[in-house]
Chains A and B, each alone.
Chain A
Amino acid sequence: MSKAAVMPGANLAPAEARTPEARVAGAMTGFAHEIGALSAFRLESCIHCGICADACHFYIATEDPQYTPIWKVEPFKQAYKREASAFAPLVRLLGLKREVKADQLAQWQHLLFDSCNMCGRCSLICPMGIDVAALIEQARHAMFDAGLAPKELYEKAAHQRLTGQPEVSTEPYREQLLAIGARFKVDMPLDKPEVDVMLCVPRTDIEHYPSAVAALAKVMQQLGVACTFRSDALVAENYGYYAGGKQWQREISLRLIDQAIACKAKILLVPECGHAYAALRWEAADLYGQPLPFRVLQVTEFLAEQLAAGHLRLGTAAAGATTFQDPCESARKGGVIDAPRALMKAMGVDLREMEDHGGFSFCCGGGGGVLDIERAAPLRYRTMEIKLREIDDSGADHLLTSCSDCRRSFDDAQAHFAWNKKPQSLLELVAANLIETAGPR
């Protein structure tokens, strides 16, 4: 292994080999690009009270202070104070902040990626009102620029950027989508030139939950909405977002944006995928450089709108006592909290809320790309115990969610802990309880 590639403790893709000096330079360039008045204000405002630790499931589960959310951005706080703050020359002169070193950044890879779901719960507790999660996201960008994105996220982002798919599949997703349509006997609208709604799917659903893909098509068919998948932009996920590669995130988002524009969609419908919603609803317009010429809606939001308008009619679901996992990115950080509950109410679901729910829900443990990082698994399982306990304490027999990553995370927990609950998709429950109406509207 070359000297450039040696980075003790870091989990790196071979393509990310570079010298320590180049890593620090990359991180600082990325950081300088990110730092604006808002993030500087957030960094300035921290009073080192450590209260954010008490919102973070990684800290709560381990009581290890290094998992304190604001500590996860410490190298960048250090860099800001030393290089960019109003008294930076004084800070350097008096040696109040040390220069950021490559080995420090490598050490922080574990804190910024393996042990942070970017769930944003820490942003709700800070008495100074600091959006800590926003700082962590920016720190991930700088880590990517330092070549310190974890191998799994880097490689998936690189693959998705080039091919549209985060990984090689047995068959291209387009073919798999059509096969799912045939298997579930539902029409998969594909590459229609002009529609009202453009659809996309989590690759997790294609690979693991094809019934959720079929459910989406079935519901749209029932609603009679002119919609289509697009072969060139099938995947909802954005591994650029997870890996911290802002330019890659942009390119991956543009694939969807361009296709939505090409088919003149009025709505880009984000399926049950929390981070895809965050990336498309709240970040894509900035990466695009202007407001998007269509609405971005999460599928439960869209269905709740259809329900309110009387276009969607739902029967009573025989679901039993059920609890709902709010996906952090769409619920806490994205505001999609009432819509899934409106759908569950319409189906007469006996909802048993967890102690921490809605905007305050704990993450499933898999968000922020953590589920993909192999070495993070033992820690992830420790943090998941908090969530599983809350689910069990809710008294529910069933678990619903509207995020395929949450679902995969709980499936993994079921196997790991021999847990007795099987997560189900809210969209699939809707599809199973559709009441036939008089045809397309």
Chain B
Amino acid sequence: MTLLDFARGPALKTAIAIFCLGATWRIVGFVLLRIRRDHSTPRASPLKYIASGLLAIGTRSWPHREFIGRTGPGEALGYSYHIGLFAVVLLFTPHILFLGSLFGFTWPGLPSSVITVISALTITLFAAVLFRRVTNRVMRMLSNFDDYFSWCITMLVMVTGIAATAHIGAPYETLLGIHILSVDALLVWFPFGKLMHAFYIFPSRALNGALLARKGAAS
């Protein structure tokens, strides 16, 4: 069995299993905790606060006017690399073919040259994110192992992906095997760390937006 066979065979299957079970367990772990009933009389109708919650998914994507001067650049940096990351993962033709083999359908991708540029930009932005985390006093204070390890593993996936595409340093199959192994590692780590925010972000915004709207509070 070659490295590539291992990476996209048993390693990938194991990683997907850990990812699915781990993420489910982590979510079940808090969803099954007690849910308190709120006996206060809502200011808004359920329809209105549910709608406000759904709206908050969008409105929290960008800071309110009152905050934009202080947080706009940082949030723009964060969203930029996320967009780059999603573009590379979802619009690079080999990725589409791979995902198509899992889901049973494919979609049009971007030309490789465009993806290469996006990848280079995304890696640069991602490096800037780390720089910001270690130089910003607030972020440095809040950061822990999870933040740095999650950054490293995501960066590893991006760098090995670029190396495989550019055929740098080793035969293509070896590079691809290493890239897929890094993806396997990311999937294994995913449920244990902050990468889980991918699952949380929209429900969290919606839930809190709805609860604030229930009181007629600002959200």
Contacts and interface: CB of A to CB of B under 8 A. Distances in A.
Contacts of B200: 41, 44-45, 128
Interface residues on B, range: 35 or more
A283 B38 CA distance: 8
A9 interface: no
B192 to A, nearest CB: 6
Contact of A68 (B74, B142, B192): B142
A51 interface: yes
Given A48-B194, A54-B70, A41 B212 contact: no
Contact of B38 (A47, A50, A54, A286): A286
A123 B33 contact: no
Contacts of B142: 48-50, 68, 70-71
Contacts, number: 179
A302 interface: no
B66 A291 contact: no
Interface in A116-131: 120, 123-131
A333 B217 contact: yes
B141 A66 contact: yes
Contacts of A86: 25-30
A370 B112 CA distance: 59
Contact of B207 (A41, A71, A296): A41
Given A36-B36, A37-B32, A50-B142, A44 B66 contact: no
Contacts of B9: none
Interface string A31-54: 000011110111011011111011
Contact of B35 (A37, A127, A336): A37
A54 B71 CA distance: 7
A8 interface: no
Interface in B176-209: 192, 194, 196-197, 200-201, 203-209
A129 B205 contact: yes
Contact of B196 (A44, A48, A60, A284): A44
Contacts of A47: 194, 197
Nearest to B147: A48
Nearest to A78: B144
Q: Which of A35, A49, A90, A124 has the most CB of B within 10 A?
A: A49
A285 interface: yes
B27 to A, nearest CB: 8
Interface residues of A, number: 66
Interface string B125-156: 00000000000111111111111000000000
A71 B215 CA distance: 26
A96 interface: yes
Given A47-B194, A90-B192, A289-B39, A124 B30 contact: no
Q: Which of A86, A125, A126 has the most CB of B within 10 A?
A: A86
A122 to B, nearest CB: 10
21 contacts: A37-B34, A38-B207, A41-B31, A45-B197, A49-B142, A65-B137, A71-B142, A85-B29, A86-B28, A87-B25, A124-B218, A126-B60, A127-B61, A129-B205, A129-B207, A129-B209, A131-B208, A282-B40, A286-B39, A288-B39, A296-B41
Given A44-B196, A129-B207, 13 more contacts: A38-B207, A45-B204, A47-B197, A48-B139, A51-B75, A54-B70, A54-B71, A71-B142, A86-B29, A286-B40, A334-B217, A335-B43, A356-B66
Interface of A: 35-38, 40-42, 44-45, 47-51, 53-55, 59-60, 63, 65-66, 68, 70-71, 84-87, 90, 96, 120, 123-131, 281-286, 288-292, 295-296, 331-337, 355-356, 358-360
Interface of B: 25-41, 43, 56, 60-61, 63-64, 66-67, 70-71, 74-75, 78, 136-147, 192, 194, 196-197, 200-201, 203-209, 211-212, 215-219
